Structure 1
Amino acid sequence: MVEYQISFQKKSNPLLLVLKDKMNRQINSIEELDNSVKYELLTRLNSMKNHTKLCHGDYCPDNIIVTADAKGNIKEITAVDWVHATQGNASADIANTFLLLKLQFGDKSDIPEKYISAFCELTNTKRSYVNEWLPLVAAARLTKNKEEEKELLEQWINVVDFQ
């Protein structure tokens, strides 16, 4: 197995992993990926801007607690389970959540699209920029070795479709 070593950035917070470093290790660990695909993914990862924003890493409906009043009005929203938190690019975290929503709700639901569109609109982020992270987070997610996710994740890894 060929392992590509790419150094991304100095850690500005020694208590958090750097997202790009974590993804580099994950992508390199996937034995099923062809080396040329790994190279393309890691080249893309290296080209992404370095950020030090707090990223949840597993932001999905299962990790959200919503508190509502008796009338059903939302009073508080809390994200829990920060074990996968890293410092990095918020667009990568959004792409990861989009894929998690796709895995959870499937293609018949518009929830993943509404989620990513709302993020892009509220943050003035181009959708194409978030899309650039999709193959990367899909490859990183493959390391979870969940057979039921493999087919969808492999579809998203095709880096040519996202350039």
Structure 2
Amino acid sequence: MSSLDVLLGQGRTAEVYAWGEGLILKLYRTGFPKEWVDHEFRVARAVRETGVDAPDVRERVHVEGREGIVYERVEGSTLLGALQIGWSPERIGEVQAELHVKMQGKTLRGVQGLDAAKQEASPLPSMRVRLQDEISRAESLSEDVRSRVLDVLASLPDEQALLHGDFHPENILLTQTRGPVVIDWTTATIGHPLADVARSSLLLTLAALPPGLEGNPVIEAMRQTIHDAYLAHYHELTHTSPADLLPWKIVSAAARLSEKLPQVEHDRVRAFLETNLIYNL
């Protein structure tokens, strides 16, 4: 019988428990909106239906007055943890790029070819709509910068690729039996592939490091190497270029400013945006 005896991990919004043979329970904290949990469940099912290698989602549950989702339990170290078994930062970046390209080749059942108006019926939201909303809500943007960024977004093409929304080495597990498995799909959307690459690029280069690691020259150099290898290999595989990616990085940076970022990360993202917005016009 399953119980809440074995806590595997926890975060701001939920706790994760062992839940029977080969399963885990993601149990949201009391008061977390039921609609958000329902959304995650729908997203997880839709992602699995594409054929991408992600944890299987089993059922939506209500346990001890709290909302939860039962997932397949996936065992493995993160892609970043592969450093401990001798992988180079370059190899980690290249594997991330290969997985990203493979993932973006997937389409949701019934979604391929949808126009923007019909995307509202998709189980996943539109990345373009999400970016528009986040840019509009970013309080630290001046109205002039906001307007210019929205103009950049309006000029960019749209597609219906599967996008993760938080694709970095810590969200990739290396398993012994099935290879890499991508986890944490709560921010998944559909849209242009480069929108997802832009967010990954910003996360790899501008995100604040954990306390004690910020400013460490070895760590900073390592993540820059992972980033550079990731982008170079991605561009090689997709025949795209840094110039193609830059407008997407600009709109992604503006959208990031709607989030509750650590001050050091907020300042980095804002500086990137202001510098590159000038040269993009």
Structure 2-normalised TM-score?
Answer: 0.50
CA distance in 1, matches of 2:145, 2:158: 22
Q: 2:125 aligns with which of 14, 17, 36?
A: 17
Aligned 1:1-163 pairs, distance under 5 A: 9-12=116-119, 14-68=122-176, 76-102=179-205, 103=207, 106=220, 109-146=224-261, 147-158=263-274, 159-163=277-281
Q: CA 1:116/1:162 → structure 2, altered by over 3 Å: closer, same or farther? A: farther
State the SS of the aligned residue for 1:66.
Answer: strand
CA RMSD, aligned part only? 2.0
Deviations 1:92-134 (A, max 9, x none): 1011101111125646632111111111101111221111111
State the SS of the aligned residue for 1:54.
Answer: strand
State the SS of the aligned residue for 1:42.
Answer: helix
Q: Size of the alignment, in residue pairs?
A: 151
Equivalent AA in structure 1 for residue 186 of structure 2? V
Contact kept, 8 Å, 2:160 with 2:190, in 1: the verdict is yes
Identity of aligned residues (%): 27
Whose strand proportion is higher, 1 or 2? 2
CA distance in 1, matches of 2:153, 2:196: 14
Task: Give structure 2 stretches of 5+ with no counterpart.
Answer: 1-114, 210-218
Shift, 1:10, TM fit? 2.1
Structure 1-normalised TM-score?
Answer: 0.84
Between structure 1 and structure 2, the one with the greater Rg is 2
Q: CA 1:107/1:36 → structure 2, altered by over 3 Å: closer, same or farther? A: farther
Q: CA 1:9/1:112 → structure 2, altered by over 3 Å: closer, same or farther? A: same
Equivalent AA in structure 1 for residue 198 of structure 2? A
- Structure 1's consecutive aligned runs of 4 or more residues displaced over 3 angstroms after TM superposition are 104-108
Shift, 1:67, TM fit? 1.9
